[in-house]
Amino acid sequence: EAGVTQFPSHSVIEKGQTVTLRCDPISGHDNLYWYRRVMGKEIKFLLHFVKESKQDESGMPNNRFLAERTGGTYSTLKVQPAELEDSGVYFCASSRANDDEQFFGPGTRLTVL
């Protein structure tokens, strides 16, 4: 069974540009989560999808971040326009049920210059 995959593994962009991160969950996992770790801080929850619906987006930092999960399969997280403080590692996780163990992807390292 393939694990959670994320693309790209690294992204370097200039301030003001747009970046889209993608996450492919484990097949059959209805629950998909985004987390991020900014420099020197702990990993923090961003949002939670159940299938294509957003269950909780309380961790989204501001309206420059837009997450989608059309069709309830893969998810994208778009940052537009990117700011310096958005630099960090963005993790995606998935689980079959919302109280099941979450399996994490390798993360996307985003650097905003």
| Interface residue list for another protein (CB under 8 A) | 3-4, 31, 33, 35, 41-45, 48, 55-56, 59, 91, 98-99, 101-107, 109
Task: Tell me how far, at minimum, the Cβ of 112 lies from another protein, in Å.
Answer: 19
d(CA 104, CA 97): 15
* Between 53 and 80, CB nearer to another protein: 53
- CA distances 53 to 2, 19, 42, 71, 78, Å, are 23, 22, 26, 10, 17
Task: Tell me how far, at minimum, the Cβ of 109 lies from another protein, in Å.
Answer: 8
* Between 88 and 107, CB nearer to another protein: 107
* Between 13 and 43, CB nearer to another protein: 43
Angle at 36 between CA 53 and CA 105, to 5 degrees: 75
SS3 at position 85: helix
Task: Tell me how far, at minimum, the Cβ of 64 lies from another protein, in Å.
Answer: 21
